[in-house]
Structures are given as C-alpha cells and as structure tokens.
Amino acid sequence: MKRSKFKAILRLLVLLAITIAWGLRAAVPPGYPPPEEGRAPAKSKPDLEAQVFAKYRKWTRANSAPVKVAGVIAAACAPAPLSGPQANQAADPHADKLINVFVNKIGRTAMLAEKKPQFLEGAIIVKERLPLKKSSATEWLMAMVKREEGFNPAAGDWEFFVLRTPEKVVIERGRIENCQACHARAKETDFVFRHYLTRQAQDKLR
C-alpha cells in the first residue's frame, strides 16, 4: 500500500473516531460531565425522605386530637440520648407524652378504612411526639416507610426513621431494633398500631 493512500485511510479513521466521540459526548445527560474531563461529580440531592417528611403536616391526620401515651411506651420510642439543647428539651423520656399521627395519600385508605390493613409500597406514617403540655413544638419525629417486598420481612417491609426537630434531619433509619420489637405486636394490622384512632373512626373500619 502506498504511503499516501495509507495516510488518507488513517485520516478517515481519525475523523470517524472524532465524530463518534462527539456523538457520545452529546448523549451524556446535563449535569454529568464525562469522567475524562476531571470535573467533580454533580452534587447529590438532599435526602429524599427528609424532603418528603418536611411536608407531613399537609397529609391526613389520623387522630382528631393529640393522644396521650404512657411514659413507658414513650421511652421505648425515644432515640438515643443526645447532648445539648435537644437533650434538655426531652430530659425525661419516661414522662407521659402526646402524639399526633399523619399518613400520606398512599397509606390513607389502609389506615382509615381497613380493619386488617395491607399498606401499599410508598405508604408513609409520621408520628410526632410532644411534651405533655400545650405546645406545638415537637420533641421528635418517628416515621415508617413501606418499602418493596422483601426489604424487611421481619417487620412487614417497613423502614423506620427517627428525625430530629425542628430541622427534620434524619438521625437514624433502617431496621431499628427497638422499633421492630415493638411493632411486632401489631403484625395482624401490618405492624401498625392504631390506638390513636377515635372510637368513631375504628367503628368505620371494614
């Protein structure tokens, strides 16, 4: 093969490679620069659940008024002690508490209409704990998120969350041992307690 013909073929191959590379570059979604450029990866989005939990008070409230919970039960739901102002706010975890419970749209029918509920994947229940006095300031938020089948068979595929208030920051999540041990007693109702429902609401369950 003559040198001139070889160079011509080589140029064509180089042009073809450039064209393919440019096409691949154009196909990369915005915000995800090609690794070879050496740029830092795009910043990850804030925790999705934390964003969702921030709006929980716009959901359906399951109880008509704050419900008193005995201190022994409140203590079982208390997160690990923290130092600082938050610890002072909930200095006596064994004292009686008040709770409000909210459920998102996906879980509303199971919560309020079914005697033996089977919550759908994506259902979220948030329980806010308040001191036993007239106050809108929550001490903690506890939440349950229904995950896909097989996520957590021992607890009905629920994931448990503990959030610090008022920032609604997730400080603990997953298969939290004391949460699972407690909710195991509510296996017949898909591991969800509903003692906070009014008598009228309980009579409507079918």
Q: What digits encode the pLDDT tens for the residues 21-74?
A: 444 433 333 332 333 333 333 333 445 566 778 889 999 999 989 998 875 455
Asked if residue 5 lies in contact with residue 12, where contact means CB atoms within 8 angstroms, the answer is no
pLDDT of residue 13: 65
| 158-164 vs 140-146, strand pairing mode | antiparallel
pLDDT beyond 70 at 199: yes
Asked if residue 196 lies in contact with residue 177, where contact means CB atoms within 8 angstroms, the answer is no
Q: What angle do CA 141, 145, 151 make, to 5 degrees?
A: 135
Q: Which CATH superfamily is domain 48-203 in?
A: Cytochrome P460 (3.50.70.20)
What's this model's pTM, rounded to 2 decimal places? 0.69
Strand partners, 163: 141, 170
Strands (E), the chain: 60-61, 67-69, 97-103, 124-131, 140-146, 158-164, 169-174
Strand partners, 140: 129, 164
Q: What digits encode the pLDDT tens for the residues 114-167?
A: 999 999 999 999 999 888 766 667 888 999 999 999 999 999 999 999 988 877
